[in-house]
Structure 1
Amino acid sequence: MAVTQRRGRRIMMSPGELDAFLTEKRTCRVATVSAGGQPHVGALWFAWDGDSLWLYSITRSRRWAQLRRDPRIAVVVDDGEEYGELRGAELSGAVVFVGESPRTGEACPELAEPERLFARKYFGMDEMPHDGRHAWLRLTPGSVASWDFRKLPAP
């Protein structure tokens, strides 16, 4: 994972902190752009494998159509209520479509680990249930910016 953050280094998460954060959190916000340049943001569940963010998206969504046209994406995962609790990460790059679309469970070795992680995280199962409506996007981020305001000195 490329970490290119320059500003805010004192509140930047360490690689271990970032890995734990992305493994633990359940919802991200995904930003895409339409052909006319209009932004679109939506929430998705995801799995983090230590290198890539795996997004399980409905294939008949605006997001899917926009990413087919332009695979560039920005994803934010964040947490906290009060200012001193805020923490998060922004990952950006280009997605890759992995497996069949929509996903029906055909053998795909590259999806074995993400599907195991996702099934345990969201369904409490060891195997991924396939609904024939979703498919996989992999984001191996080109850039990552993170923040953890809990690292700021107390006022």
Structure 2
Amino acid sequence: MGSNRRDKIKMTPAETADFLASSYKVQVATVGKDGEPHLVTMFYALLDGKIAFSTYKSSQKVLNLRRNPTMTCLVEDGDEYGELRGAALYGQGRIIEDPEIRLQVGAVVGARLAGMPVPEMGAPIDPEFAAALEQSLAKRVIIVMEPDRVVSWDHRKV
């Protein structure tokens, strides 16, 4: 693909932000101990405009990030070639153990998983839902993608 075509399908920063806000599944790659990629799909929320998800403290991705914070995230959509769009984010995975942030991200992701209305990030959380969430999140941390570089595409533009 020539650079001229590449420029035509690239999303603007605002389009990329809207795309990430409208999606909820991300493919996350971390670096394993022997250098191999470790790839998983996670449900995410946006925390200050950045991809954030919860995972168990003892998960392979957390072990990998503690050893090497390099992380890549891919959010993509579309079934036909002319509909394909996506964003690949390259950077660092930051591990957050703050219970308040864990609860906020957990409320958004948990509501999606449960098929409930999704609360706005930072909005008050129903106390009963919060109590259940705190129990289910007790052994989890939040990972936030801190991107250094974002590559995007939207084939619908051509």
Cα deviation for residue 73 of structure 1 reads 0.0
Residues 56 and 7 (structure 1 numbering): CA distance in 2 closer, same or farther, change over 3 Å?
farther
* 1:27/1:112 CA distance change after superposition, 3 Å: same
Identity of matched residues, %: 29
Instruction: Give, in angstroms, the shift of residue 8 of structure 1.
Output: 1.6
Question: Which sits farther off after the overlay, 59-68 or 114-123?
Answer: 114-123
| Residue of structure 1 in register with 2:40 after alignment | 42
Establish whether residue 118 from structure 1 lines up as the match of residue 116 from structure 2: no
Amino acid at match of 1:80: G
In the other structure, the counterpart of 1:142 is 148
Alpha-carbon distance change, 11 to 117 in structure 1, aligned in 2, over 3 angstroms? same
Using a 3 Å threshold, how does the CA distance of structure 1 residues 16 and 33 change in structure 2: closer, same or farther?
same
Equivalent of 2:23 in 18, 21, 25: 25
User: What residue number does 2:122 align with?
Assistant: none
In structure 1, give the amino acid aligned to 2:35: G
Output the CA distance in 1 between the equivalents of 2:18 and 2:113: 17
Unaligned stretches of 5+ residues in structure 2: 120-124
Relative to the length of structure 2, the TM-score reads 0.76
More helix by share: 2
1:92 corresponds, among 90, 93, 99, to 90
Q: What are the within-5 Å matches in structure 2 for residues 71-86 of structure 1?
A: 71-86=69-84
Shift of 1:28: 0.7
Q: Structure 1-normalised TM-score?
A: 0.78
Distance in 1 between the 2:110 and 2:38 partners?
27
* 1:146, distance to aligned residue in structure 2 (A): 0.5
Q: Cα distance, 1:10 vs. partner?
A: 1.1
Contact 2:53 2:105 in 1 (8 A): no
1:50 is displaced (CA, Å) by 5.1
Mark the runs of 5 or more structure 1 residues left unpaired by the alignment.
1-5, 101-105
Provide the C-alpha distance between the structure 1 equivalents of 2:140 and 2:86, rounded to a whole number of angstroms: 26
Question: Which runs of at least 4 in structure 1 moved beyond 6 Å after TM superposition?
Answer: none
